[in-house]
Structures are given as C-alpha cells and as structure tokens.
Amino acid sequence: MTAIDHGGEQATADRETADRRLSARVKVRLAHPLSTYYLLIGASMLLLVLGVIMVLSASSIESYRVFGSAYTLAQRQAMFAVIGVIVMIIAARTAIVFWRKLSWLLLSIALLLLVAVLFIGVEVAGQRNWIDLFGPFRLQPSEFAKFALIVWGADLLARKSNLLSSWKHLLIPLLPVAGFMMVLVLLEGDFGNAFMLAAITCGMLFAIGAPLRLFALIAGLGALGVWLLTIAAPYRMERFS
C-alpha cells in the first residue's frame, strides 16, 4: 500500500468520524424538548424575511411610479412585519390559559368583522376584504379570522380530546364554523384566504390524528369547489393561461 492510498483511507475515515459526530450532535439537539419550537420559529422568520424581499421585488416599479421611491411599499410591509414579530413574542410569552379563555370571544369578533366587511368594506382589486381604520391603516378581517380559528379550534379540540373518536365530536362544531367562515371570505372575493382557512382546518384535524379517509373526502370536495370558483371568475382563469 502506498503512502497516497494510506492517506486517502485516513481522510475517508476522518470524514466518516466527523459525519458520525455531527449526526450525534444533531440527534441530541432534536431530542431537546424545545427543538420543534425553535425550528418553527426559525422557519417562520426565514419565510418572513423572504416575504419582504419578494414584496420589494414585485412592488418596486409600482412603488416608484406612485410614490417616487422603489422602497415605499416594501418599507410599509417591513413595518408590519416588525409589528407582527413583536406581537408574536408577546403572544408566545402569554400563558395558554389566557388564549383559551379568549377563544370564543376571538371567534365572535372574527365572525362579526367578516359580516361587517361585506357592508362597510373597501374594495381593492375586485376584493371587498378591507376595513378602513385611520390614515394608511386598514384591517383585513380574513387575516384576523385565521388567527381566531386557530385559537378557537385548538381550544375546542383540546377540550374534546376524550371524545374525538366519535365523528360527531370530531367534526362538529369545527367544520360548520370553519365552513361558514370560508363562505363569508369567498363572498368578499378572497379566494386565497378561504383556501388558507381550509388548510388550517385540515391541519388541526391532521394534528389530532383524524382518519385519512376524511382528508380524501375533503380533498375531493375542495377540488370541486376550486374548479367551480375558477370557471366562475375570469381573472382566476387567466392565472392558468
């Protein structure tokens, strides 16, 4: 065996040893009780930064045309992102029992806002899903509805944890309430947030171990609904052409 061969084998052995050590360290990190929490926070922050960058990329020309600066719309989005991070930190440090007590109140407010926007909402790009507050600030009830559905749905399913083997308790009142929210959002013309409400509902059902055949049924009904909504609105058809 030459010195070169011996050196190559030694380098390979060193790499394998380093890989095993790295794998062991990763396993230890992932075994930490808060690893999932930190991974979720990290992924959320990454998506937030990428979102602001994409807004800058997509809006720079329009922002320059309207405001004389390519960064105005992106700066506004970044400001709301910072506010969102602050609210997230406060929410994360708030006891769960606090949110559970507020769950029904949040749901009621969300439903009232979703109904109100149909009458007093401001139409933007063919969608009546904004309520003017003051100055440049607007409220989008469908965004608040997603938050309310998560808090209320999580509390509801946690309270009924011993009864979820029954289809009645698994689906009622979660699906009727979520479905009513989706209908109100669709009436605003907001197809995207209606889809997100459906995804949130499915995510919660998946997290508690709902039968897979339920998701097959939901997927079939959802595909039919998407097809009907797409052919009913010309601007949605244009996205596929």
Which pLDDT belongs to residue 43? 92
Mean pLDDT of 126-150: 84
Q: 0.85 cut: is pTM over it?
A: no
Please give the residue that has the higher pLDDT: either 158 or 128: 158
Query: What DSSP letter does each residue of the chain carry, written as one string?
Result: --HHHHHHHHHHHHHHHHHHHHHHHHHHHHTSTTHHHHHHHHHHHHHHHHHHHHHHHHHHHHHHHHHS-TTHHHHHHHHHHHHHHHHHHHHHTS-HHHHHHHHHHHHHHHHHHHHHHHHHPEEETTEEEEEEEETTEEE-HHHHHHHHHHHHHHHHHHHTGGGTTSHHHHHTTHHHHHHHHHHHHHHTT-HHHHHHHHHHHHHHHHHTT--HHHHHHHHHHHHHHHHHHHHH-HHHHHTT-
Mean pLDDT of 47-53: 94
- Band of pLDDT at residue 207, cut at 50, 70 and 90: confident
- Band of pLDDT at residue 213, cut at 50, 70 and 90: confident
Which pLDDT belongs to residue 66? 87
Which pLDDT belongs to residue 114? 95
For the chain, the domains span 95-241
Mean pLDDT of 201-209: 90
Please give the residue that has the higher pLDDT: either 130 or 43: 43
In this predicted structure, the answer to whether residue 239 has a pLDDT above a threshold of 60 is: no
Mean pLDDT of 176-198: 90
